[in-house]
Amino acid sequence: MSADKPDPPAPASSPPIRYDEQRLASPNVFRETFGHLGDDGWLDVLKRSVHDPVIDDVDFPRFPDANLQSLLHGSVGEQAIEEAFAFYAFIRARLGSELKLGASARMLDFGCGWGRMLRPFMRHYDLADIYGFEPSRLFCTVARQLNPYVCFLNGEHLPNRRIPRHAFDLIIGYSVFSHLSQHAAALWLREMAELLNPGGFAVFTTWGDRFLTQLASEKTRLDAGEEIHWYYKWALGKFGDIEAVLARHRAGEFIWIDTGQTRLYGEAFLGPEPLGMLIADHMLPLQVTAFDTNALPQDVFILRRT
């Protein structure tokens, strides 16, 4: 490796998963072993798996290097699992009986990274019916190494028809539409409409008013000579006039901040108005059933395939 190019993150240091043919004969060993637990009990098991990868003789997916976790989402270990579980609990509470679970259903984690967000769902669907999609080959490779139970698909940053069509009852995507340009967001929304079964749901997060308000507050602190978190300092350097951006967002604009990485990936604010316009302008068979701005750290919108 060249001196100016960092080495890829080290693989997880936990012992490799044991391949017990008899144990893996079940369509879902997690459902078989832990399906009787309530949500609190299931969360405790998932958090325990951070430190103890074999629980009740079941091998759990492993975890990546802590530096990789921190780089991708700022949290590590049990905190990373708690965040994933909060998204899972939100989805189950909001969709209730409309959410199709079990052996006859299929789910996709869109932009899955190393695969943390799908883990709470692993006791509901047959393991063969759980998919993750990740455009980064590095992160997709890490996800496959950590969790051999589910199918991780690699692709591109724009749709390429590598994901099964009209196949999914639930698609999730945490902190994906918070980074897509308007062009990329429109294409991926069309892709979601093609991937979902009629009546299926997609649940995505995006940046919203709260993040811009926080940045404005951090700018005040920075201007006063206080030290702030490096990410806020970086964002302030990219966003320019925060008050102007906040005003545009509140006026219903799609806000796209080009951070210099690619023309498709930066910082995005997809509010209810631009989301509705994208769906209408592209005549997508998607209905916005909810747009929540308080329940989770990012705003959340729910789409139903009509």
- pLDDT at position 5, please? 37
- pLDDT at position 275, please? 98
Structurally, at CATH architecture level, domain 23-207+270-305 sits in 3-Layer(aba) Sandwich (3.40)
Q: Determine if residue 163 is left, alpha or beta; phi over 0 gives left, psi from -120 to 50 gives alpha, anything else beta.
A: beta
Please give the Cα distance from 257 to 207 (Å, whole number). 11
Instruction: Work out the angle at residue 266's Cα, subtended by the Cα atoms of residues 206 and 246, and round it to the nearest 5 degrees.
Output: 60
User: Whole-angstrom distance between the N-terminal and C-terminal Cα of the chain?
Assistant: 50
Long-range contacts of 47-54 (CB under 8 A, 24+ apart): 47/78, 47/81, 47/82, 49/81, 50/77, 50/78, 50/81, 53/14, 53/15, 53/17, 54/18
- Spell out, as residue ranges, where the chain has pLDDT lower than 70: 1-14, 22-23
- pLDDT at position 7, please? 44
- pLDDT at position 8, please? 42
Any bridge partners for residue 201, and if so which? 170, 304
- pLDDT at position 11, please? 42
Range(s) of the chain covered by CATH 3.40.50.150: 23-207+270-305
- According to DSSP, the β-strands at 107-110 and 168-173 are parallel
Look up the pTM and report it.
0.92
Please give the Cα distance from 213 to 299 (Å, whole number). 13
- pLDDT at position 22, please? 65
Interior/surface letters 2-25, b for 16+ CB within 10 angstroms, e for the rest: eeeeeeebeebebeebeeeeeebe
- pLDDT at position 9, please? 44
Nearest in space to 212 (alpha carbons), one of 249, 256, 260: 249
Give kind and range of the element (H or E) at residue 93.
helix 78-95
